Structure 1
Amino acid sequence: MGPVLRGMTAADIPAVYELETATFPTDAWPIELFEAELAQTQTRNYWVYETGEKIVGYAGLCTVLPFADVQTIAIDPTMQGKGLGRALMNVMIDKARELNARDVMLEVRKDNPVAIGLYLSMGFSKIHERPKYYRDGTDALIMQLRLRDEEENA
């Protein structure tokens, strides 16, 4: 059986943090940030992919209208290339639509062509660059997916 998608719980944080530090060694969130994010239930939605007892992916979305912002997304390197990242992005985009967000925004390392390619293939466009955004001095690309025009009613 493949990975199961479900909402993230506080009990998942240690495993998510382990994947976070393995995936983003220079940019990992502190464990307390995951705890704080999950506590903000009015504006945050977090999901995990689980295979058996192992968390193999996670993602988080912050929605403060009119924007939804991808807070984080990661897939275990052994599970990459199987469509899990695209599936998590679709879950977040669907949630943003459900909440009537106008745009989905995200930051991505400029030196991550795989992620950038995924986002471009999903309709995101590059709208800005933040020099030296990441701890190691790497620039960030700011990307946007327009879900509806400003004139449309929410």
Structure 2
Amino acid sequence: MTLRRLTQQDAPALRALWSEGLRQMPAAFLLTEEELLAIPDERFAANIDGALHIGTFSDDKLLGFVIARRGGVARLRHTADIGPLYVSMTAQGRGLGRALMQAALDTLTGQGLKQVELTVDEANTAAVGLYKDLGFTSFGRRPRSVIVNGIDRTDLLMIRALDGAELFAGA
């Protein structure tokens, strides 16, 4: 397995794998497959340069990815939002999701960020467990954060300090 930052040349493979994820686990993503596929190719590829995209490969085949977006305005530049994270159904159970998340955390720490946040469907117990194992703490719930196929879904809000700070001291 090889982990590396994705480039615009990886856009077709990324879109295909993301589409697979949307078909397999629609509640794990904000976009629908129709919304993903409606993004023009040029814009989709350009977005890769606008955020951290890391992929894991086997024999040049993309098996998983994670995306992290740094805060855009000056007062949020110390933070990043992570997601989505997806590993192909055929490659799950090999630690690839953990490796992708750790690579993203290491990269963001190296860039001097102080904290990262993510949202995860509270019913996605495997992902919630992974994030807790990686040091994320739940700090809230967002009821009806999305509606997938007519069903209300609730997200957990999770956070992790990258600089060793105690985020909930005295709480």
Q: Deviations over 1:19-76 (max 9, x none)?
A: 2122223344614374352142xxx211111112321011111122221210321101
Matches within 5 A, 1:56-135: 56-64=63-71, 65-135=77-147
* Local SS of the residue matching 1:134: strand
For the aligned residues, what is the CA RMSD?
Answer: 1.9
* Local SS of the residue matching 2:11: helix
Q: Give the direction of change, closer, same or farther, for the CA distance of 1:39–1:122 in structure 2 (3 Å limit).
A: closer
Q: Which residue of 1 aligns with 2:61?
A: 54
- Unaligned regions of 5+ residues in structure 2, if any? 72-76, 167-171
Deviates more, 1:4-13 or 1:75-84: 4-13
Correspondence for 2:5 among 1, 4, 7? 7
* Local SS of the residue matching 1:120: helix
Q: Which residue of 1 aligns with 2:74?
A: none
- TM-score normalised by the chain length of structure 1: 0.84
Q: Deviations over 1:79-135 (max 9, x none)?
A: 111111111111111112111111111111111000000001111010111112223
2:95 and 2:6 map into 1 onto residues whose CA distance is: 19
2:67 and 2:134 map into 1 onto residues whose CA distance is: 17
Deviates more, 1:22-31 or 1:73-82: 22-31
- Unaligned regions of 5+ residues in structure 1, if any? none
Query: What is the aligned length?
Result: 145
1:132 and 1:6 map into 2 onto residues whose CA distance is: 35
Whether the 8 Å CA contact 2:11–2:48 is kept in 1: the answer is no
* Local SS of the residue matching 1:49: strand
- TM-score normalised by the chain length of structure 2: 0.76
